[in-house]
């Protein structure tokens, strides 16, 4: 059942204003690890990439990952485009999930340049990047990237909003003719952070593409993927259980797991034939502004931007989400996060404080802070791990 969103919007605006007022106040007791500090653990072949989203020149910050999960700077790379800042944003300039994407078994990194309406393609070797291509995004203010095998869709959040298709061939993106689909929104460019769509993503089998619209209708839009990767001309619009659907992932059963920031809730939906979804359950975490979510070994870690906390959830046998509890306190302005492919580590951006929190994920889902990366841009958005 759709609810009145005006109160939710005002509550979320207030929460993020509080986050801004607390910039630089650490929410955790872990000691800071200075950039460039020596590590005793050997380095692995794995890396973490952060996006500065700087309007004066977007950059990717690369970090070597040590065996104990701690990070050391490995380079700074220009994307060849500019970052962008959504109107009214406080700690999350793109107000999205999925603005960086590792593809082709981690050998290619895709990054949005919201201020330039372009996408950058990097070749990846460990923590080293080589800029390979810059291509128009097919719309205004690109914020999120979805990938299934060699098919790529970019979410353009500005103006009426759109998704644009590409094919990844020989490490390059090639526009898919006839693939642009309008979302029919009524936003500005740059869009307001609550009115802009939050994420684009494929279902696990690649048969559908999903877009969350946040305050612009509080809908979960579902496109079917047809011949040659083209989407249905129009999405099926499904109202979210609670207001402001922001980001999403999937559980082991392929069910859609969505954060809904208006009531700081996590909801689970079954995907039905014909593009409809059915709500299986919803639970609030009692925090403020649950916006981002990362799945790791059956646990779902939600970032609460207004509370500077991470909440942990699980999905029970009937498909209902269950709140495990507050998994960790973080630094100010908790935003995007990523888990390593092996599930051992979780990295969390704090766009208010300009800090990256590093956590070891234990077998029971509890988080143990192993360090921080300080001195980062504030705000920032976008993270990926190989």
Residue 136 in domain? yes
Write the CATH number for 209: 2.130.10.10
Please give the tally of structural domains in the chain: 1
Residue 357 in domain? yes
Beta bridge partners of 167: 151, 174
Residue 1 in domain? no
* CB contact at 8 A, 167 and 229: yes
Nearest 5°: the CA angle 367, 92, 51 is 80
Tokens 């380079």 belong to which residue?
A: 75
pLDDT score of 2: 38
Q: In the structure, what pLDDT confidence band is assigned to residue 153 with cuts at 50, 70 and 90?
A: very high
CA distance between the termini of the chain:
39
Instruction: Say whether 48 sits in a helix, a strand or coil.
Output: strand
Q: In the structure, what pLDDT confidence band is assigned to residue 159 with cuts at 50, 70 and 90?
A: very high
* Per-residue pLDDT tens over the stretch 258-288: 999 999 999 999 999 999 999 999 999 999 9
Q: How far is CA 70 from CA 37, 44, 106, 155, in A?
A: 10, 11, 20, 32
Query: What is the span of the domain harbouring residue 234?
Result: 6-385
Question: Which two structure tokens, joined as six digits, stand for 341?
Answer: 């492919």
Average pLDDT of the chain is 91
* CB contact at 8 A, 314 and 321: yes
pLDDT score of 12: 43
pLDDT score of 142: 98
Among 9-13, 39-43, 103-107, the range scoring the smallest mean pLDDT is 9-13
Residue 236 in domain? yes
Q: What is the pTM of this model?
A: 0.90
Residue 103 in domain? yes
Tokens 């925090």 belong to which residue?
A: 287
Percent of the chain whose predicted confidence (pLDDT) is above 90? 88
125-134 mean pLDDT? 97
Question: Which two structure tokens, joined as six digits, stand for 50?
Answer: 């952060």
Among 24-28, 121-125, 163-167, 239-243, the range scoring the smallest mean pLDDT is 24-28
Percent of the chain whose predicted confidence (pLDDT) is above 70? 89
What's the Rg (C-alpha) of the chain? Answer: 19
Residue 188 in domain? yes
Among 6-10, 70-74, 325-329, 380-384, the range scoring the smallest mean pLDDT is 6-10
- How does DSSP classify residue 32? P
Q: Return d(Cα 236, Cα 224) in angstroms, integer.
A: 9
């Amino acid at each position: 059942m759709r609810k009145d969103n005006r109160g939710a919007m005002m509550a979320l605006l207030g929460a993020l204003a509080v986050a801004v007022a607390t910039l630089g106040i650490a929410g955790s007791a872990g000691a800071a690890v200075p950039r460039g500090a020596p590590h005793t653990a050997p380095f692995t072949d794995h890396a973490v990439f952060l996006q500065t989203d700087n309007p004066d020149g977007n950059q990717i910050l690369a970090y070597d990952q040590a065996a104990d999960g701690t990070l050391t700077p490995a380079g700074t790379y220009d994307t060849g485009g500019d970052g962008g800042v959504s109107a009214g944003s406080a700690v999350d300039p793109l107000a999205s999930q999925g603005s960086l994407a590792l593809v082709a078994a981690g050998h290619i990194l895709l990054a949005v340049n919201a201020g330039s309406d372009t996408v950058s393609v990097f070749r990846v070797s460990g923590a080293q990047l080589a800029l390979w291509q810059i291509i128009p995004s097919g719309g205004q203010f690109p914020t999120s990237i979805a990938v299934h095998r060699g098919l790529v869709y970019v979410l353009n959040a500005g103006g009426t909003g759109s998704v644009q298709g590409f094919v990844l061939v020989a490490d390059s993106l090639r526009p898919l003719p006839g693939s642009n689909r309008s979302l029919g929104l009524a936003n500005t460019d740059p869009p307001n952070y609550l009115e802009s769509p939050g994420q684009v993503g494929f279902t696990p089998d690649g048969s559908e593409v999903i877009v969350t619209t946040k305050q612009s209708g509080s809908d979960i839009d579902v496109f079917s993927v047809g011949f040659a990767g083209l989407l249905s001309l129009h999405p099926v619009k499904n109202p979210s259980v609670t207001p402001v659907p922001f980001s999403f992932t999937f559980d082991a059963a392929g069910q859609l797991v969505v954060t809904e920031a208006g009531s700081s809730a996590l909801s689970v939906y079954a995907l039905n034939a014909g593009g409809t979804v059915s709500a299986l359950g919803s639970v609030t975490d009692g925090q403020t502004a649950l916006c981002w979510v990362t799945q790791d070994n059956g646990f779902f870690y939600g970032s609460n931007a207004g509370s500077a906390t991470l909440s942990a959830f699980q999905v029970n046998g009937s498909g209902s989400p269950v709140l495990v509890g507050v998994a960790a306190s973080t630094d100010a302005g908790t935003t995007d996060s990523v888990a390593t492919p092996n599930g051992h580590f979780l990295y969390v951006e704090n766009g208010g404080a300009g800090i990256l929190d590093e956590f070891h994920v234990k077998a029971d889902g509890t988080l143990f802070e192993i360090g921080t990366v300080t001195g980062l841009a504030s705000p920032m958005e976008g993270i990926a791990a190989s």
